[in-house]
């Protein structure tokens, strides 16, 4: 029976839908953290460069070294740092020009590592190609992979050896410099910590730059030339 009533049912549901806002927020947070960390690293690097250069320059001037401004020049400051130490005595020999070695060693390492990488990479391609041409595709892949692993091991060993040699050289240089202002034992401690803790060496040089030299460690500065005195000259 129809009573003349029309029943219309409308159901409307409003559900909040996220369209990637969580992912965008995560990316924003990661990017912010990355920028903050990068800014801190750059700030530490800049502070280390400034303190290190000021300390080296001041110590160099007090030691009577020419061109102390080299402490502010990239690469040249490595040479100047080593030359401040002077000749480094060892058991049977000595390092006469530590500044040159400190400057040249990274260059030698970069050149040898580059040549070694190219040589072994070409050898890996050759080994893989030779196996492939013989009809053994799987053997070619294995030969290429094995040679690349050997490449990685050789370069890794070379990098470790270089890092050890360079670190020892740097420690010996720092001991020679620190020993002018503190005891031998403390010089060794400061030198080891300088190779481990970032900014430590820069702060040490900056703090020690105006400290008095230890007795017997004073630089042998060349006295100013005395004008010649001729007979008959009157002295006031």
Question: What pLDDT does 164 receive?
Answer: 92
By CB atoms closer than 10 A (0-12, 13-18, 19+), residue 78 is buried
Question: Which of these, 163, 159, 130, 133, lies nearest to 147 by C-alpha position?
Answer: 130
Alpha-carbon gap, residue 36 to 189, rounded angstroms: 32
Contact 168, 195 (CB under 8 A): no
User: Which pLDDT tens digit goes with each residue over 23-81?
Assistant: 678 888 888 888 899 899 899 889 889 999 999 999 999 988 888 899 999 889 999 99
Contact 88, 171 (CB under 8 A): no
Q: How confident is the model at residue 3 (pLDDT cuts 50, 70, 90)?
A: low
Q: How confident is the model at residue 125 (pLDDT cuts 50, 70, 90)?
A: confident
Question: What pLDDT does 140 receive?
Answer: 59
Q: How confident is the model at residue 148 (pLDDT cuts 50, 70, 90)?
A: confident
Place of tokens 């020999």: 93
Residue 92 predicted with pLDDT over 50? yes
User: Which pLDDT tens digit goes with each residue over 65-80?
Assistant: 888 899 999 889 999 9
Contact 56, 71 (CB under 8 A): yes
Contact 59, 177 (CB under 8 A): yes
Q: What is the 3 state secondary structure string of the chain?
A: CCCCCCCCCCCCCCCCCCCCHHHHHHHHHHHHHHHHHHHHHHHHHHHHHHHHHHHHHHHHHHCCCCCHHHHHCCCHHHHHHHHHHCCEECCCCEECCHHHHHHHHHHHHHHHHHHHHHHHHHHHHHHHHHHHHCCCHHHHHHHHHHHHHHHHHHHHHHHHHHHHHHHHHHHHHHHHHHCCCCCHHHHHHHHHHHHHCCCHHHHHHHHHCCCCCCCCCCCCCCCCCCCCCCCCCCCC
Question: Which of these, 190, 180, 186, 187, lies nearest to 210 by C-alpha position?
Answer: 180
Residue 236 predicted with pLDDT over 50? no
More confident residue, 204 or 133: 204
Alpha-carbon gap, residue 102 to 109, rounded angstroms: 12
What pTM, to 2 d.p., does this model score?
A: 0.72
């Amino acid at each position: 029976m129809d009573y003349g009533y029309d029943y219309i049912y409308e159901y409307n549901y409003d559900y909040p839908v996220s369209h990637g806002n969580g992912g965008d927020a995560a990316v924003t947070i990661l990017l912010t953290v990355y920028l903050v960390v990068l800014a801190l690293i750059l700030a530490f690097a800049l502070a280390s460069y400034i303190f290190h250069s000021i300390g080296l320059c001041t110590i160099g001037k007090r030691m009577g070294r020419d061109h102390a401004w080299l402490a502010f020049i990239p690469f040249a400051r490595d040479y100047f740092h080593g030359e401040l130490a002077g000749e480094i005595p060892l058991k049977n020999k000595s390092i006469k020009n530590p500044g040159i070695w400190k400057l040249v060693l990274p260059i030698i390492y970069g050149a040898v590592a580059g040549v070694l990488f190219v040589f072994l990479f070409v050898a890996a391609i050759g080994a893989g190609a030779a196996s492939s041409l013989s009809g053994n595709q799987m053997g070619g892949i294995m030969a290429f992979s094995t040679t690349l692993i050997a490449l990685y091991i050789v370069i890794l060993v070379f990098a470790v050896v270089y890092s050890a040699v360079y670190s020892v050289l740097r420690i010996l240089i720092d001991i020679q410099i620190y020993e002018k202002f503190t005891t031998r034992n403390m010089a060794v401690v400061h030198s080891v910590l300088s190779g481990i803790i970032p900014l430590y060496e820069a702060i040490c040089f900056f703090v020690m730059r105006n400290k008095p030299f230890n007795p017997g460690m004073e630089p042998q500065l060349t006295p100013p030339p005395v004008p010649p005195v001729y007979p008959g000259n009157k002295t006031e």
